[in-house]
Amino acid sequence: MSTAAHPVRLVIVDDSPLIRAGLSAVFEGNPAVEIVGEAGTAAEGIAAVIRHKPDVVLLDLRLPDQSGLKVCSEIVRRRPETRVLILTSATDERTVHEAIALGAHGYLLKENDGASLVAAILRVAAGHSVVDPSLTDQMVSLMRRGQEPGAEQRLAVLSPQELRVIALLAEGLTNKEIGEKLGLTEKTVKNYLSNAFDKLHVLNRAQAAALYAQLPKK
């Protein structure tokens, strides 16, 4: 918890230098928050968290090298003491649900003003959870249904070729074997899988295969 002597130690992870500069300006001169690190990529963000050991990470979901959801999961796994506050423009129901399920302690939209952002950081640092007021109806709807979007809905975001690659992965084929089946190089298969994992918000081959296995049998 922040005090005059011990402000909340914050790391900002966002791919836009302009947004990082704007956020720094919001906290400048505020004794309750101290920015101890910034990062523009997923890899840099995880490294900054390990190095600076912040109380809170302000994390964008759209990063150039990896999904912010994967970064959230990695931070929660490697440094559970650090609390993750998502700051994004993504409002779709599945992304909100996935972020909370992966361990995010808050989900805020970039449309908020500086005062609301500072208040959210302090609340998350104090051990509470924060969800943007504009997303309350979505969260209530999810809780009432008691389930996340089904496999068919989640896999619908894939291109036909990505879906074919995931289907063969689910059969237990290696990248080389998938490439031989589809006439692709191993590198191309790897790229298809990386894109598909990001779209599905899964971390590895096993999770992707498990999701595909949930499709209704035809």
Q: Which of 10-19, 31-40, 107-116 has the lowest mean pLDDT?
A: 107-116
Predicted structure pTM score = 0.65
Q: How many domains does the chain have?
A: 2
Contact of 56 with 24, CB cutoff 8 Å: no
7: pLDDT confidence band, cut at 50, 70 and 90? very high
102: pLDDT confidence band, cut at 50, 70 and 90? confident
Task: Identify the CATH number of the domain in which residue 87 sits.
Answer: 3.40.50.2300
Q: Is the pLDDT of residue 54 over 80?
A: yes
Q: Which of 149-153, 168-172, 194-198 has the lowest mean pLDDT?
A: 149-153
77 and 130 inside one domain: yes
Q: What is the mean pLDDT of residues 124-141?
A: 77
Q: Is the pLDDT of residue 66 over 80?
A: yes
Whether 3 is in a domain gets the answer no
pLDDT confidence of residue 131: 85
Q: What is the mean pLDDT of residues 114-122?
A: 92
Q: What is the mean pLDDT of residues 107-129?
A: 91
Task: Pick the more confident residue, 44 or 209.
Answer: 44
Whether 134 is in a domain gets the answer yes
Q: What is the mean pLDDT of residues 105-117?
A: 90
pLDDT confidence of residue 59: 97
147: pLDDT confidence band, cut at 50, 70 and 90? low
122 and 172 inside one domain: no
Whether 170 is in a domain gets the answer yes
Q: Which of 145, 163, 189 is the last residue of a domain?
A: 145
What CA–CA distances, in Å, run from 112 to 19, 70, 115, 134, 141?
13, 24, 8, 10, 23
55 and 35 inside one domain: yes
Contact of 85 with 56, CB cutoff 8 Å: yes
Q: Domain residues for 159?
A: 151-213
140 and 155 inside one domain: no
Token pair, residue 109, equals 């939209």
Task: Identify the CATH number of the domain in which residue 156 sits.
Answer: 1.10.10.10
202: pLDDT confidence band, cut at 50, 70 and 90? confident
Q: What is the mean pLDDT of residues 68-90?
A: 91
Q: Which of 110, 145, 180 is the last residue of a domain?
A: 145
104 and 157 inside one domain: no
pLDDT confidence of residue 56: 97
188 and 123 inside one domain: no
Phi and psi, residue 56, nearest 5°: -135, 140
Q: Is the pLDDT of residue 150 over 90?
A: no
134 and 158 inside one domain: no
Q: Is the pLDDT of residue 3 over 50?
A: no
Whether 185 is in a domain gets the answer yes
Q: Which of 89, 124, 145 is the last residue of a domain?
A: 145
162 and 125 inside one domain: no
